[in-house]
Every structure is written in C-alpha cells, then in structure tokens.
Amino acid sequence: MKTRKLGKLEVSELGFGCMNQSGNYNGPVPKDQGIKTIRAAFENGVTFFDTAEVYGPYINEELVGEALQPFRDKVKIATKFGFAIDGTVALDSRPERIKRVVEESLKRLRTDHIDLYYQHRVDPAVPIEDVAGAVKDLINQGKVLGFGLSEPSAKTIRRAHAVQPVTAVQNEYSMWTRNVELNGILDTCNELGIGLVPWSPVAMGFLTGKYDPSTKYDEKTDFRAGFPRFSKEFMPLNMPIVERLKEYAAKKGATPSQVALAWLMAKSPNIVPIPGTRSETHLLENLGATRVQLDAADVLAIDTSLSKFPVYGDRMGKDHMLSIDYSI
C-alpha cells in the first residue's frame, strides 16, 4: 500500500470508513465481526481509519478504539464532532462543547490524541473562526494533531484555514456525486495543500453494481430508503451510469468498485477515499483498486462517458441536505 499526504498527515492511499459497522445503511454488525473487519483492513495495509461520535452514536468510536488499540501507534484515526446528538440532525459546534466532547472521544478511542478532528457539519450558529480557534487550542495541547472540515463550502474552508491550517476536507465525492469539481472545493484544496477525503466513494453501494431498482431498503435502519436517488422514481433513471461503469470495468479486468475508487485517486494525489464495508470480501475487493492504474486519458474517457448520463434526485434526504454548507 502506497501512502499519500493529507496536509502534513501521511496515510495509506485508501482509508477505511468505519461507519457501516454501526448502522446507517444496515443494522449494526456483531462487535466481533466489526473488530475483525477493521483489523483485516490494517493487516492489508490500511493505516487511516474514519469514525465519528454520532455513529451509533458513540458505539463506533468504542469499536474503533478497541479494534485499533493493539497497533495504535501504526495508524491514523479521524473522528468528528458537531452534531447535537439529541435524536435530530441538529448541530452544535460551540467551542465549549468541542472541548468537552473531545475528552469523551479520546476515552472511547482509547488514545491520548486524535490524528484528524473534523467538524462533522458546519454550524451556521457558530462562526467558523471560533470553531477553528477551539481546535487550534486542542492542537496546542497535543490532544489533536490535525483539523478537518466535512461538507464545508470553499469560502468556509478559506476562513477556517486562516485561523488554523486545515489538514483535510471530507465531502461526498464519487462518479455519482461530483459537486466538489464544480463548487470550488477541489480547486481550493489543491491550491491550499489540503487533502480531500471522499466519503461514500462508491455512492453508498450504487457503483458496486450490486443494486438495481428492485432492491429494497429497510426504512428503519437504512438511510437510503429516504434518499431520492435510490427511490423508485429516480433509481431506474440512474442505472445507465452503473451499466456503463460495468462495461468499462470489464475492459480493465476490474470490478466497478475498483474502477470507481481508482478514478478518484487518479483525480488528484491529495485525494484519499475512505470506502466502508461490513464484509472482508468487499474490503479486499476495494483494496484491489490500488492495482488499477488509470492515466489522464482513462480519466478523460470516463469523464466524457459520464457526461452523457445526468444524475437524477438529491444525494441525501431533505433533513440531511439542510446541514450542508452552501455559503459562497
């Protein structure tokens, strides 16, 4: 496994998103299975693991902390703050809360420092300069090593970066969700030397080619049941994207997931995708993306092909979309 830089933070070129172990797209996995999968990622070269206090909530950090404890000094852990965790999707990034919840995350993660601490969503009630200042204090105390933002606007990135250099930005980015190419996020990160960490790099499973309009999503445990792109109305209209991806992957001797991840890595050396899975088989499949080499001509060919297929429906449900930072 090669490494890449997120700011000054060196990590494996593919990370591992741990959220799926604790639900959101399915029910939580048994604890032993989650630990086994996370450790399998490490054993196969992954050194960058992503979690958040809101996953579970709390239980995902606990799982990650236990799974990684035997080799904590060999990995980088990213976690997040910023949701109120009150049964809604309300936000709370008040500096006093940040300084309280970091202690709780450190305890759950069984560590004395967090390598990358993201604001999970930009809180319009708290100036980003205050958030950056609070994290800067934690960095000065050695409790946090790097500052991150998730789903910010380009303007917010610049304002935060002026107070405390931003290590990485985490936004949804995949062949199915390319907002960062159009809204200045990718350009801003490249200009300022900030890493970009695509979450949902295989589009919540859509780009695996294993879902179709007949797929059922559990309304109680699976967010996708309320996401427009996965609806009965829009899913059939979106299928040409994945069908084209399947054809391209076959020509490359790879799976659709592998090409989707390789495409992201080919977009910029500052990009580190964090695919997540509950299955060791899918984990190994995803890691195979590091062996799929796409050059500039390949990326251009894929982009040209994708341009023929519009994407139908919002990427998340209404409540989730309200927490995205659109400030310009």
Residues annotated as part of the active site:
55
Quick check: 50 and 273 in contact, CB under 8 A? no
Q: Which two tokens stand for residue 85?
A: 């965790």
Instruction: Report the helix count and the strand count for the chain, using DSSP H and E.
Output: 12, 9
The CA-to-CA distance between both ends of the chain, in Å, stands at: 38
Under a CB-based contact definition with an 8 Å cutoff, are residues 145 and 114 in contact?
yes
Cβ contact 201:195 at 8 Å: no
* Cis peptide, bond prior to residue 213, ω within 30 of zero: no
Instruction: Determine whether 111 is exposed, middle or buried from the number of CB atoms within 10 Å of its CB (0-12, 13-18, 19+).
Output: buried
Helices 59-68 and 95-109: crossing angle, nearest 10°? 40
**Token couple for 166:** 């931003």
Alpha helix positions (H), 166-324:
179-182, 185-192, 235-252, 256-267, 280-287, 296-306, 318-321
Cβ atoms within 10 Å, residue 130: 15
Cβ neighbourhood burial of 23 (10 Å; 0-12, 13-18, 19+): middle
Q: With 0-12 CB in 10 A as exposed, 13-18 as middle and 19+ as buried, what is 44?
A: middle
Angle at alpha carbon of residue 119, lines to 116 and 125, rounded to 5°:
160
